[in-house]
Chain A
Amino acid sequence: MEPGEIHALLGENGAGKSTLMNVLYGLYQPDEGEILVDGKPLKLRGPSDAIAAGIGMVHQHFMLVPVFTVAENVMLGAEQVKGGIAGFLDRRRARREVAEVSERYNLRVDPDATVEDLPVGIQQRVEIVKALTRDVDLLILDEPTAVLTPQETEELLTVMRSLKAAGKSIVFITHKLGEVKAIADRITVIRRGKTVGTASPTASRDELAALMVGRSVRLTVEKQPGTPGKPILEVSGLVVDDDRQIRAVDGVDLTVHAGEVLGIAGVQGNGQTELIEAIMGLRPVLAGTVTLDGQAVHGWSTKKVLHAGVGYVPEDRSVDGLVKEFSVAENLVLDIYDRPPFGRGLSLKPDAIAKSAKERIEQFDIRTSSADAAVSTLSGGNQQKVIVARELSRPLKLLIAAQPTRGVDVGSIEFIHSRVIRERDIGTAVMVVSSELDEVIGLADRIAVMYRGRIIGIVGPNTPREEIGLLMAGITPDTAAGAGSAAPAGGAATTAGSTSGTAGEPGAAAPAPEGPGNEDEA
Chain B
Amino acid sequence: MSTTAVPDVAVAPVDEGFWTRTRKTGAVLLALGVLAAVLFGALATGQQARFTLSETEGGAALEINGTVGAILFGVIAAAAGAALLAGVPKRWFTLTLGVGLVAFVLSFLCWQVSAAPEGRNFMPLVNIVRGTFILALPLIFGALAGVLCERTGVVNVAIEGQLLMGAFSGALFGSISGSVWVGLVAAAIGGAFISLLLAVFAIRYLVDQVVMGIVLNLLAVGVTGFLYERLMQTDAQKYNSAPRFGNWEIPLLKDIPVIGPALFRGNIFLYLGLLLVLVIHIALFRTRWGLRTRSVGEHPTAADTVGVKVLGLRYRNVIMAGMVAGIGGASYTLALYSFTKNMIGGKGFIALAALIFGRWSPTGALLAALFFGFADQLATYLGAIGSSIPSQFLAMLPYLATILAVAGLVGRVRAPAADGKPYIKG
Contact status B13-A246, CB under 8 Å: yes
Contacts of A269 in B (CB 8 A): 9-10
Q: Which residues 79-93 of A have a CB within 8 angstroms of B?
A: 79, 81, 86-89
A54-93 interface bits toward B, Cβ cutoff 8 Å, 1 = contact, 0 = none:
0001010011111110001101111101000011110000
Give B13's nearest chain A residue, CB to CB: A246
Q: Which residues 268-325 of B have a CB within 8 angstroms of A?
A: 283, 286-292, 294-295, 298-299, 301-308
Give A52's nearest chain B residue, CB to CB: B307
With A48-B307, A63-B305, A247-B14: A121-B5 Cβ-Cβ less than 8 Å: yes
Contact status B287-A27, CB under 8 Å: no
With A47-B304, A246-B11: A63-B299 Cβ-Cβ less than 8 Å: yes
Give the A interface residue count (CB, 8 A).
Answer: 67
Contacts of B417 in A (CB 8 A): 66-67
With A27-B426, A59-B305, A77-B308: A66-B298 Cβ-Cβ less than 8 Å: yes
- Roughly how many angstroms separate A405 CA and B410 CA in the complex, as a whole number? 43
Contacts of A77 in B (CB 8 A): 292, 303, 306-308
Contact status B2-A502, CB under 8 Å: yes
**B8 interface contact, C-beta 8 A:** yes
Contacts of B295 in A (CB 8 A): 65, 68, 76
Chain B interface, >50% SS class:
loop
With A81-B287, A120-B6: A66-B304 Cβ-Cβ less than 8 Å: no
- Roughly how many angstroms separate A158 CA and B1 CA in the complex, as a whole number? 9
Contact status B301-A63, CB under 8 Å: yes
- Roughly how many angstroms separate A46 CA and B425 CA in the complex, as a whole number? 11
* Of listed B6, B288, B290, B426, residue having the most chain A CB within 10 A: B6
**A13 interface contact, C-beta 8 A:** no
B5-38 interface bits toward A, Cβ cutoff 8 Å, 1 = contact, 0 = none:
1111111111000000000000000000000000
Give B425's nearest chain A residue, CB to CB: A27
Partner of B6, one of A73, A451, A501: A501
Contact status B305-A106, CB under 8 Å: no
Contact status A152-B6, CB under 8 Å: yes
Shortest distance between the CB of A284 and any CB in chain B (Å): 14
Shortest distance between the CB of A472 and any CB in chain B (Å): 8
Contacts of B7 in A (CB 8 A): 149, 267, 451, 472-474, 499-501
- Roughly how many angstroms separate A151 CA and B5 CA in the complex, as a whole number? 8
Partner of A504, one of B1, B292, B294, B303: B1
Shortest distance between the CB of A469 and any CB in chain B (Å): 11
- Roughly how many angstroms separate A377 CA and B10 CA in the complex, as a whole number? 36
Contact status A247-B291, CB under 8 Å: no
**B388 interface contact, C-beta 8 A:** no
Partner of A501, one of B3, B13, B426: B3
Contact status B306-A78, CB under 8 Å: yes
A102-132 interface bits toward B, Cβ cutoff 8 Å, 1 = contact, 0 = none:
0000101000000000011110000000100
A392-423 interface bits toward B, Cβ cutoff 8 Å, 1 = contact, 0 = none:
00000000000000000000000000000000
Contacts of A27 in B (CB 8 A): 304-305, 425-426
**B94 interface contact, C-beta 8 A:** no
- Roughly how many angstroms separate A152 CA and B301 CA in the complex, as a whole number? 26
Closest 6 CB pairs of A and B: A77-B306, A48-B307, A501-B2, A63-B302, A119-B6, A87-B288
13 contacts between A and B (CB under 8 A): A27-B426, A28-B426, A46-B307, A65-B302, A76-B308, A86-B283, A89-B286, A151-B5, A158-B1, A247-B11, A501-B7, A502-B2, A503-B2
